[in-house]
Amino acid sequence: MGWGRLIDISMTIEEGMQVWDNLAHKEPAITNVQNHDQGQPHESQLNLNVHTGTHVDAPLHMIPGGDTIETVTLEQLCGPARVIDLTGVKDHISKEDLLPFAIRRGERILFKTSSSYSERFDPDFPYLRVDGAEYLAQIGVAAVGTDALGIERAQPGYPTHRTLMRSNVVIVEGLRLRHVEAGNYTLVVAPLKLTGIDAAPARAFLVGD
């Protein structure tokens, strides 16, 4: 079968990359552990927070005793998706911002915001306010992706995450959508096959016409 046009929407994992709140301990570290000068095959070791770059959250991240990452299925993460342009939105994404898009049950919705236009962490990034999360949960979307490193900022009680997670809405964070036009695509998000933990880094891409 023909795949059509593949559009990579993943962040590159590298030292010095954008991380949450610019915290040094969240930055990935890549270390050479053996090399050709030693007469050995070249090998590297990666020290990586599972919430680095493009990643999928599991409910355990925000809900005590919540489901872990292996419970998020590929069927939830792969399939028809819609990129919606929210680049004009400042501070937060509300229910009122989402209403014009007539979002439907089962959709996978990707937010293209101002975050896609910067490779630096902006503490004032546009986030999904709880009323917007409640609206999407009531509709029953399958997944929500954002180009920010978080679906919300450090809101007391993390109501956006918890509202979506309790409604079985999968959260994908850290997408790159600057080069993507709003519209309909096929989405593929492939998290590392980890188990028992709160998130997994992922490669994500869209298939266009």
List Cα–Cα distances, 27 to 18, 35, 137, 192, in angstroms: 8, 24, 32, 18
CA distance 175 to 86: 14
What band does 2 get if pLDDT is binned at 50, 70 and 90?
Answer: low
How far apart CA 40 and CA 37 sit, in angstroms, is 7
The pLDDT value recorded for residue 21 is: 92
pLDDT (0 to 100) of residue 196: 98
Q: Return the number of other C-beta atoms located less than 10 Å from residue 194's C-beta.
A: 16
What domains does the chain contain, in order, with CATH numbers?
5-11+50-208 (3.50.30.50)
Q: Which of 61, 92, 161, 179 is catalytic?
A: 61
- Residue 16 DSSP label: T
Q: How many residues does the chain have?
A: 209
- What is the pLDDT, as a whole number, of residue 18? 94
For 87, how many CA atoms within 13 A lie in the half-sphere containing its CB? 14
Q: What is the pLDDT of residue 106?
A: 97
179 carries an active-site annotation: no
Lowest mean pLDDT segment, chosen from 77-86, 103-112, 152-161: 152-161
Scan for tokens 């990666």, then name that residue: 46
Per-residue pLDDT reduced to its tens digit, 29-52: 999 999 999 999 999 999 999 999
